[in-house]
Amino acid sequence: MQVAVVRHADAGRRSEWTGDDLERPLSPLGRAQAEALVGPLRAAGAARLLSSPARRCRETLAPLAAALGRPVEVHEALGIPGPSGVPGIERLAAAFAAGDGHDGARAPAEEPPLVVACTHGEVIERLLGPLARPQGLAVPGPKAGIWWCRLDPASPLGLQLEGCTLSEELGEGLGHGGAEAEPDRGQLSGR
């Protein structure tokens, strides 16, 4: 199963938000980044959308959900880690695999649809850091960056990292212009 792990789009500075951090919304830049994610994720076959409970994560996936006519499913396992750290890969893998988002119309040998999971830098750091750093990639990467992965039970971490798309690659400057081009998922060059 393929999984696109998305770092939430820009939500301004935590230090400037006076309310509950779980309710911090996207900034204008973040809204533009969220719109720019629609093209590459739709082109990659996004079918199931998972999110941290945080508003900024749900808002990051909202334009894609609207474009696909699909709901955003909230999963605690993608949330901001508490004192005990980030949930284990087993909980995240279970969230990814629980229902594969298809309607029964695909052939048995066909690849399951892409699961998109929006989360936080802290989760991405712990989840993907051991896979990305040896390849020279900065983790957690920029806001609205996409980490293309595949569930792999044979891997010690349960995932294989297949590539990344940085938010700057989604369009000019702020992540505008989300073209429908096929996403670049195969290059792990540290860009």
Closest CA to 127 of 85, 169, 166: 85
By three-state DSSP, how is residue 53 classified?
Answer: coil
Residue 110 burial (10 A CB sphere; 0-12, 13-18, 19+):
exposed
Single pTM value for the model: 0.81
Predicted confidence at residue 136, as pLDDT, reads 87
pLDDT at 36: 95
Residues 6+ apart with CB under 8 A from 46: 4, 64, 68, 113, 114, 115, 116
Nearest to 117 by CA among 53, 166, 66: 53
Spatial distance between the Cα atoms of 96 and 104, rounded to a whole number of angstroms: 18
pLDDT at 104: 43
Predicted confidence pLDDT, tens digits, the chain (191 residues): 889 999 999 999 888 998 888 999 999 999 999 999 999 999 999 999 999 999 999 999 999 999 999 999 999 888 886 655 555 555 666 666 665 444 444 444 556 679 999 999 988 988 888 888 888 888 898 999 999 998 887 877 778 889 888 777 766 544 433 333 334 444 443 32
Structure token pair of residue 24: 């911090």
Structural domains of the chain in order of their starting residue, each with its CATH number: 2-13+20-170 (3.40.50.1240)
